[in-house]
Structures are given as structure tokens and as C-alpha cells.
């Protein structure tokens, strides 16, 4: 973190640090590889090694994580070996899952146990999937029953559920005590949990009664009873709620923390805004990656074959749909043989349909992610998109019609062009609405490969419409 005297901004400072780490690591690699425990032979290398170590020891674990994400595999291994062991756990929690795996591969069992044994239950649960089972068992052995139960509970939820990202650091008080008593109670803590902006008010059975915002506690009369100061109208979540929906609620109501309760309204944990920010960031990224046909977030510096694996599925789908489009065209080979100009014009019809369809589908996927779309409105939207397609078809269709005429001096070709473009834009609008709405109805992620799918439809459809009209009217 920057010292108060420096005037360089956070991002510039971090970028400069990462650049320096990269340079030092690159220069050191030939000397020590990823085994910095062996003292380097040259004094220059020794200097570099101590400079690199000094930078890493000064950085916030989140910055170390960002630096590791930036580094090619070998430099990453070298730098990782130099990170303070007591920060290993924090760094593992901060890096993306793809990079986390590459870091864990570089650690032996004892190092892993040391890195995670002091974690909170929810943090261990988050890492558990990437850790060797032996390490998790080893760590849990020394924990008490309550903590073990918390880890098991957190691991029993899917990653996209509130239960998997909540933590267990709740501070709670009874409703019938005074604010003075609460303040004295808080003073007994060594430190309050991160992000504590409210105290949870529960009865003898831990049933949630309300929340006491710290902001209110600080300005209230010390003699006031908690029950007279607390808010009863609260936003709280259930562990099997959807994490993205919880994040949207955090965003709508500007929350910092919120209680998580079970079916009987018993307080079992809390959500904090920092986790929700990660959910929102990942949601946006996942939609973007999914639309483009990438299966998951990819370590930028992953080995080639790992990247091939992440991408092959949608490439295969694309090849399949391209094959269908190809068969559509080959069905009209006879027509093309007679008017070769059609072969040159057909990609224009397909292309504008794909582009326009992608605009529509992107807008709708985004609206769905924001929870802005329900069934009734889909019909309304469909009408609007068809209107947009008609206008665009007439305008751009005419433009291309005129251009085709100027190129080929053939009125028939020009008119077929106008009609085909308009029809393909209408098809793009129709499917641009129907594909995501249907995916959502089927309980699938509407972003998933939607770009590949709409392009498939507008390609095959565009060729079929254009060549079909040409066969009917021009031959």
C-alpha cells in the first residue's frame, strides 16, 4: 500500500512494482531456476535476488497475487518460492482458480498445511477443492468440532450459492441490553471481524431479531435498549440462495454485510461486500467468456494444451454449424455455377445478420443478468427488435442493393439482395430474442455460447434465404 507521503496513484505504483518483479525474475531465471534456496553464484544475481525478495515482502498479499497472475509460468514459480510463507494462504485466496492450481502444484504437503492451518473455516472451504485431500484432513485434525462442521457446511453448497461464500464471523447481542453494554462487550474483542458495519441481534436460541448498525450504535444514547435502536426490516439471505442474486441485492440496497439465516431464521453466518464484489466481477467476466465460447476463465500463461482443452468445445460446435452452412450452400451449387456473383455476395447477407443478431442477443443477455426481463416483456421486446430489424433491413438492404446493381448491372440480383438482407435481419432479431429466452426457460445460462449459436443461425439462414431467393427468381 502507498505511504501517505507518496503522490503516485495506486495503479501506477502496482504496475511499476509488477514490471520490476518481472524484470528481476526474468534476469534471475537462468541463474537459479525455481530453486532460490540454493544461493546464487554471482554477486549480481545475489543482489537481484535480495531486491526481488524485498519488494515481495513489502507488497500487500493481494498485490503479490496480481503480480503472480501477470507472470509466465517459470517466473511465477520462482517468485512464488520467495513469498513470505505466512502470506502464502492469503495469496492463494486472492489469485484466480486457474493460477491457484499452478501455485499449489509447486508446494509440498508441509508447506500447504502451514499455509492453510490458520485460515477461517470459510476460507479453507474455498480452497479445499484445489488442495490434496491429505492436506485438508491433516488441517482439520487439529480443528475443533464446530470449525469442522463449518467447513463441511460450506463445502456442501455449490460455488454459486450463498452458503459457499458466507463466513462465520458473526458478532451478536441480545435485544434487551443497553447500547452501553454492547459497547463494553465489543471492547472485549481483540479486533472485530472485517467489514463489521452491523451487530446481529438474536434471542436465546440464536433466532435473528434485527440488526444494530454500528452507525446507529455510535450516535445513540448509551442507555437506550438495543431493541429500541435496532432495525427490524432487514435484508437477509438463506445459504441456498443464488450468489449472483444476493450480489444484486447488495448492489440495490448498498449493503456492506448481511446476515445468513436457516429455515428457522437462526443466524448461521454473514455475507460481506468484498465477496459480493468478486461475484459481480466474475459474473460479468463469465458472461463475456461464455458468449465467446470459452468454457472458463483461463490462466493467460497456461500451457498450450490446457488452453486447447478450454476452447475445443465451442470450436467443435462452430465447425459443426459451419458444416451445416456449407451443406446449405452446396445444395445450391447448380445456381452458383450459373451466377458466380452470388458466391461473392452471400457472405454479406450472412455477415450483417450475424452482427445484428449479436447486438440483440448481447443486450438481452445483459438485461437478463440484471434481472430486467420476464416472460411477458419478451413479447414486447420481440416486437421492438423486429421493428429495428425492419428499419435496418430497408436502409442497409437498399444501400447494398444499389451497390450490387452498380457492380453487376443486374436488377434481379439487386432486388434479391435487398429482400435477403431484410429477411436475414428479421431472422436475427427473432432468434436473438428467442435463444436467450429459451435458454433461461430451460434453466441454462443464456450467455453460454449464445454468440456462436446466433451466428450459426444467421449464417445458414442467410445462405438459405439468399440462394433460395436467387434460385426462385433469377434462374
Closer residue to a second copy in complex, CB, 137/308: 308
**What gap in Å lies between CA 298 and CA 104, rounded to an integer?**
16
- 280 near a second copy (CB under 8 A): yes
- Residue 409, CA distances (Å) to 393, 405, 414 in order: 21, 5, 8
Nearest to 333 by CA among 475, 461, 456, 459: 475
- 2 near a second copy (CB under 8 A): yes
Closer residue to a second copy in complex, CB, 102/139: 102
Closer residue to a second copy in complex, CB, 139/452: 452
Q: How far is CA 397 from the centre of its chain?
A: 38
**What gap in Å lies between CA 102 and CA 77, rounded to an integer?**
8
- Which one of residues 95, 212, 226, 336 is an interface residue with a second copy (CB under 8 A)? 336
Closer residue to a second copy in complex, CB, 104/400: 400
Q: Which of residues 360-379 bind a second copy (CB under 8 A)?
A: 361-363, 365-367, 370-374, 376-377
Q: Which stretch binds a second copy (CB under 8 A): 82-90, 117-125, 146-154, 340-348?
A: 340-348
> Beta strands 172-173 and 208-213: pairing type?
unpaired
- Which one of residues 351, 405, 434, 468 is an interface residue with a second copy (CB under 8 A)? 351
We find the least distance from the C-beta atom of residue 38 to a second copy, in angstroms, to be 26
134, containing H or E segment:
helix 133-141
C-alpha cell, 37: 534456496
We find the least distance from the C-beta atom of residue 4 to a second copy, in angstroms, to be 6
How does 56-67 read in b/e, with b if 16+ C-beta sit within 10 Å? beebebebbbbb
- 322 near a second copy (CB under 8 A): yes
Q: Which of residues 405-434 bind a second copy (CB under 8 A)?
A: 407
We find the least distance from the C-beta atom of residue 133 to a second copy, in angstroms, to be 30
178, β-bridge pairs? 225
Q: Which of residues 77-96 bind a second copy (CB under 8 A)?
A: 94
C-alpha cell, 362: 448481447
- Residue 406, CA distances (Å) to 331, 361, 392, 393, 400 in order: 28, 34, 21, 19, 10
Tell me how far apart the terminal alpha carbons of the chain are, to the nearest angstrom.
Answer: 73
We find the least distance from the C-beta atom of residue 330 to a second copy, in angstroms, to be 4
x-or-dash string of contact with a second copy, 297-316, rule CB under 8 A: -x-xxx-xx-xx--xx-xxx
- Which one of residues 149, 152, 284, 438 is an interface residue with a second copy (CB under 8 A)? 284
- Which one of residues 53, 172, 359, 410 is an interface residue with a second copy (CB under 8 A)? 359
- 14 near a second copy (CB under 8 A): yes
- Which one of residues 41, 330, 411, 438 is an interface residue with a second copy (CB under 8 A)? 330
We find the least distance from the C-beta atom of residue 314 to a second copy, in angstroms, to be 7
**What gap in Å lies between CA 377 and CA 84, rounded to an integer?**
55
- 277 near a second copy (CB under 8 A): yes
- 202 near a second copy (CB under 8 A): no
**What gap in Å lies between CA 100 and CA 131, rounded to an integer?**
10
We find the least distance from the C-beta atom of residue 135 to a second copy, in angstroms, to be 26
Closer residue to a second copy in complex, CB, 150/358: 358
**Residue 225 phi/psi, 5° resolution?**
-80, 150
In angstroms and rounded to an integer, the radius of gyration of the C-alpha atoms of the chain is 30
Q: Which of residues 35-64 bind a second copy (CB under 8 A)?
A: 60, 62-63
- 15 near a second copy (CB under 8 A): yes
Q: Which residue matches cell numbers 436502409? A: 395
Q: Which residue matches cell numbers 467447513? A: 151
Q: How far is CA 164 from the centre of its chain?
A: 16
Q: Which of residues 136-165 bind a second copy (CB under 8 A)?
A: none
**What gap in Å lies between CA 461 and CA 458, rounded to an integer?**
5
For residue 144, give the DSSP letter. Answer: -
- Which one of residues 109, 134, 253, 411 is an interface residue with a second copy (CB under 8 A)? 253
- Which one of residues 113, 226, 381, 382 is an interface residue with a second copy (CB under 8 A)? 381
Closer residue to a second copy in complex, CB, 5/108: 5
Residues in the chain: 475
Closer residue to a second copy in complex, CB, 41/377: 377
**Helix, strand, coil fractions of the chain, as percent rounded to 5:** 70, 5, 25
- 29 near a second copy (CB under 8 A): no
Closer residue to a second copy in complex, CB, 141/281: 281
- What's the half-sphere exposure (Cβ side, CA atoms, 13 Å) at 96? 18
Q: Which of residues 437-466 bind a second copy (CB under 8 A)?
A: 451-452, 455, 459, 463
Amino acid at each position: 500500500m502507498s505511504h501517505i507521503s507518496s503522490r503516485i496513484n495506486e495503479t501506477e505504483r502496482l504496475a511499476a512494482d509488477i514490471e520490476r518483479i518481472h524484470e528481476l525474475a526474468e534476469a534471475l531465471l537462468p541463474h537459479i531456476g525455481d530453486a532460490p534456496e540454493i544461493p546464487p553464484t554471482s554477486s549480481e544475481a545475489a543482489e537481484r535476488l535480495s531486491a526481488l525478495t524485498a519488494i515481495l515482502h513489502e507488497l500487500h498479499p493481494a498485490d503479490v497475487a496480481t503480480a503472480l497472475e501477470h507472470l509466465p509460468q517459470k517466473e511465477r514459480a520462482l517468485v512464488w518460492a520467495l513469498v513470505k510463507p505466512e502470506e502464502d494462504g492469503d495469496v492463494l485466496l486472492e489469485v484466480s482458480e486457474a493460477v491457484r492450481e499452478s501455485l499449489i502444484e509447486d508446494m509440498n504437503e508441509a508447506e500447504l498445511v502451514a499455509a492453510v492451518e490458520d485460515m477461517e473455516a470459510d476460507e479453507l472451504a474455498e480452497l479445499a477443492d484445489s488442495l490434496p485431500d491429505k492436506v485438508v484432513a491433516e488441517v482439520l485434525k487439529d480443528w475443533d468440532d464446530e470449525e469442522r462442521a463449518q467447513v463441511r457446511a460450506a463445502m456442501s453448497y455449490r460455488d454459486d450459492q450463498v452458503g459457499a461464500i458466507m463466513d462465520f464471523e458473526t458478532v451478536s447481542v441480545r435485544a434487551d441490553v443497553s447500547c452501553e453494554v454492547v459497547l463494553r462487550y465489543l471492547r472485549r474483542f481483540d479486533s472485530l471481524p472485517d467489514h463489521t458495519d452491523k451487530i446481529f441481534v438474536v434471542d436465546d436460541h440464536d433466532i435473528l431479531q434485527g440488526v444494530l448498525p454500528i452507525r446507529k450504535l455510535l450516535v445513540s444514547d448509551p442507555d437506550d435498549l438495543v431493541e429500541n435502536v435496532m432495525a427490524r426490516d432487514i435484508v437477509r439471505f438463506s445459504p441456498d440462495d443464488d450468489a449472483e442474486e444476493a450480489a444484486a441485492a447488495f448492489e440495490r440496497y448498498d449493503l456492506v454485510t448481511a446476515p445468513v439465516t436457516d429455515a428457522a431464521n437462526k443466524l448461521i453466518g454473514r455475507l460481506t461486500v468484498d465477496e459480493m464484489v468478486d461475484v459481480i466481477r466474475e459474473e460479468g467476466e463469465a458472461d463475456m467468456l461464455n458468449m465467446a465460447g470459452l468454457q472458463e476463465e483461463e490462466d493467460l500463461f497456461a500451457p498450450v494444451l490446457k488452453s486447447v482443452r478450454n476452447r475445443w468445445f465451442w470450436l467443435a460446435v462452430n465447425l459443426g454449424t459451419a458444416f451445416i452452412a456449407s451443406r446449405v450452400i452446396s445444395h445450391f451449387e447448380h445456381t452458383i455455377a450459373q451466377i458466380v456473383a452470388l458466391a461473392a455476395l452471400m457472405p454479406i447477407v450472412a455477415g450483417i445478420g450475424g452482427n445484428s443478431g449479436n447486438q440483440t442477443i448481447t443486450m438481452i443477455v445483459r438485461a437478463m443478468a440484471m434481472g430486467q426481463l420476464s416472460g411477458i416483456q419478451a413479447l414486447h421486446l420481440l416486437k421492438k427488435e423486429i421493428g429495428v430489424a425492419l428499419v435496418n433491413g430497408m436502409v442497409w438492404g437498399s444501400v447494398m442493393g444499389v451497390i450490387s446493381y452498380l457492380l453487376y448491372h443486374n436488377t434481379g440480383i439487386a432486388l434479391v439482395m435487398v429482400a435477403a438482407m431484410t429477411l436475414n435481419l428479421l431472422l436475427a432479431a427473432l432468434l436473438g430474442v428467442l435463444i436467450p429466452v429459451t435458454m433461461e426457460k430451460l434453466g441454462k445460462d443464456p450467455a453460454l455460447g449464445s454468440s456462436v449459436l446466433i451466428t450459426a443461425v444467421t449464417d445458414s439462414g442467410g445462405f438459405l434465404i439468399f440462394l433460395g431467393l436467387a434460385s426462385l427468381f433469377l434462374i
